[in-house]
Structures are given as C-alpha cells and as structure tokens.
Amino acid sequence: MRRAVPILIGVAIGAALMIKPKKRSASSAPKLSDGTPRAQILFFHTQWCPACQKAKPELLNIAKRHPSIVFTHVNIEKDPEMASQFSVSSIPTFVALIDGKEVDRREGFKDSTDLESFVETALESSQIETDEQKAIEA
C-alpha cells in the first residue's frame, strides 16, 4: 500500500481511495459503509509543474468551500502506481470520484473558475451537498 500525500493521507484500495483523516476536513465528509468518501477529487501533480503549482492554492480555496468533498493530492513521481491506476497521462489532472467510481476528469489548469465549475459539476451528478446546501439556505 502506498501513501497519497498533501491535504490528506490516502491509501490505494482497489479502484477507490480509502482516506484516513488527519484533520477535521475529512471527518465531515459523507462516507459509504466501508469508509470510502462519497465524493472525492484527486489532484495528480508534480513539484516541477508550473500549472500544478498555480492550481494548488485554488484547489485549497475550493476545498474550504466544499467540506463534503475529500480532496487528495497525488504526486505522480512519488506514487506512479496511483497515476497508472487512474491512467493519468498529463499533469495536472483532476479526477472526480463519487462513491468510489470515476464520474469526471479534467486535464490541465485554466483558472479557478474552470476548476470550481469542474467540482460543481461533479457534485451535481452526485447530489451529495444537498443537505449541506439546505442548511446554508435555511
């Protein structure tokens, strides 16, 4: 088993990622009965990629606004098996998982609006934030 680093520590299990929460961000995220996060965004990157470095702070800001999603950074040089498992061929690559299954993918980084749109689209397909949005609107 390997570790996927930054925001959270992840361990690859089958086609999905099981997240071991390090901070409160993952504890509030809805999970399946086996502990797999309901919604997860994987961010495949390297340290030397300029677009990846631009995307990191934007992804952190988006993560703060979406506590029901687990955001996991995967450095493809430190975890090439994970990159291979998700057929990552360019960086940065963002993969949206709902209930452990890939529902969307985005290669490259344009701007924060585009990245936010990608996350919102993944959420709409899952309807995970419905209760959270209702609480905010109330």
Residues marked as catalytic: 49, 52
The 8-class DSSP code of residue 115 comes to H
Q: How far apart are the first and last CA of the chain?
A: 43
Angle at 98 between CA 95 and CA 101, to 5 degrees: 75
Q: Do 68 and 132 touch, CB atoms closer than 8 A?
A: yes
Q: Confirm if 37 and 19 have CB atoms less than 8 A apart.
A: yes
CB of 131 within 8 A of CB of 28? no
Long-range contacts of 109-112 (CB under 8 A, 24+ apart): 109/51, 109/52, 109/54, 109/55, 109/58, 111/58, 112/58, 112/61, 112/62
